[in-house]
């Protein structure tokens, strides 16, 4: 009886282990072909968004010193299949400070910050009216 139970336990373990390996392999293949797991956009430390032919870097420098740089930049590539893409910048209270449309003809957007007060701001990437990713930027005095 103990041997039969042990035999069933080992077979079950091997079966579920192989099922998990197949699932992880499919997820890895999806990651390699689409840049994301299960169709979700890939977000890394260096990029705000990266999918297919469309990528947007994080704003830099971050944190930003008002006494130093008076602007932040982000680099991007945008495919023609996107109708509208924009960055919306809001303060900590949620008030929109600015909206900046990403144009096909440009690869970099520069946002001047000399009129910003020190604090935390959030920037959101919107593609075709849908908010995709939000990150923060810190403005120091």
CATH class of the domain at 47-140: mainly beta
Q: What is the DSSP string of 70-131?
A: SEEEEEEE--TT-S-EEEEEEETTS-EEEEEEPPTT-SEEEEE-TTPPSEEEEEEEEETTEE
Q: pLDDT band for 96, please (50, 70, 90 cuts).
A: very high
Tokens of 39: 């169709």
- What does the mean pLDDT of the chain come to? 75
Task: Name the percent of the chain lying above pLDDT 90.
Answer: 30
| 22-40 pLDDT per residue, tens | 444 444 454 444 444 344 3
Measured CA to CA, the distance from residue 38 to residue 60 in angstroms comes to: 29
Regarding pTM above 0.85, the answer is: no
If we measure between CA atoms, which residue out of 100, 94, 92 comes closest to residue 137?
Answer: 92
Question: What are the residue ranges of CATH 2.60.40.1930 in the chain?
Answer: 47-140
């Amino acid at each position: 009886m103990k041997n039969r139970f042990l035999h069933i336990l080992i077979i079950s373990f091997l079966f579920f282990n192989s099922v998990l390996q197949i699932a992880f392999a499919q997820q890895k293949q999806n990651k390699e072909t689409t840049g994301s797991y299960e169709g979700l956009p890939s977000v890394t430390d260096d990029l705000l968004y990266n999918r297919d032919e469309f990528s947007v870097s994080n704003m830099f420098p971050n944190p930003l010193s008002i006494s130093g740089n008076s602007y932040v930049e982000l680099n991007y590539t945008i495919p023609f299949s996107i109708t509208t893409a924009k960055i919306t910048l809001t303060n900590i209270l949620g008030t929109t400070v600015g909206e900046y449309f990403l144009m096909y003809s440009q690869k970099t957007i520069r946002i001047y910050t000399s009129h910003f007060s020190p604090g935390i701001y959030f920037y959101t990437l919107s593609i075709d009216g849908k908010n995709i990713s939000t990150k923060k930027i810190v403005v120091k005095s």
